[in-house]
Amino acid sequence: MEKYGTKMVNSVMQRAEAVYRNFQTNAHIVRVVGKGDPKNVICNTVEKLKADTLVMGSHGYGFFKSNYI
């Protein structure tokens, strides 16, 4: 599962970086994959990077979680 997640992250980031290159902007893209308690990992990462914008994907279990759990 972790290998699939890494492939997915790389694919999404490649597309995002391609879109970013098409615009004249001074934005800085940082790719971070975290592990642990989401609220701590997210908050600590945003503070560490001094980020003013966060774009975050989900793990993709929404359908199964909402229908089977």
User: How many structural domains are present in the chain?
Assistant: 1
Predicted confidence band of residue 49 (pLDDT cuts 50, 70, 90): very high
Residue 41's CB is within 10 A of a number of other CB atoms, namely: 14
Predicted confidence band of residue 13 (pLDDT cuts 50, 70, 90): confident
Domain residues for the domain of 9 are: 2-68
Handedness of CA 15, 56, 20, 51 (dihedral sign): negative
Q: Is the pLDDT of residue 51 over 60?
A: yes
**pLDDT value, residue 11:** 84
CA dihedral 6, 8, 65, 58 (to 10 degrees): 90
- Structural contact between residues 59 and 65, judged by C-beta atoms closer than 8 angstroms: no
Instruction: Of 60, 66, 68, give the one whose Cα is nearest residue 5.
Output: 60
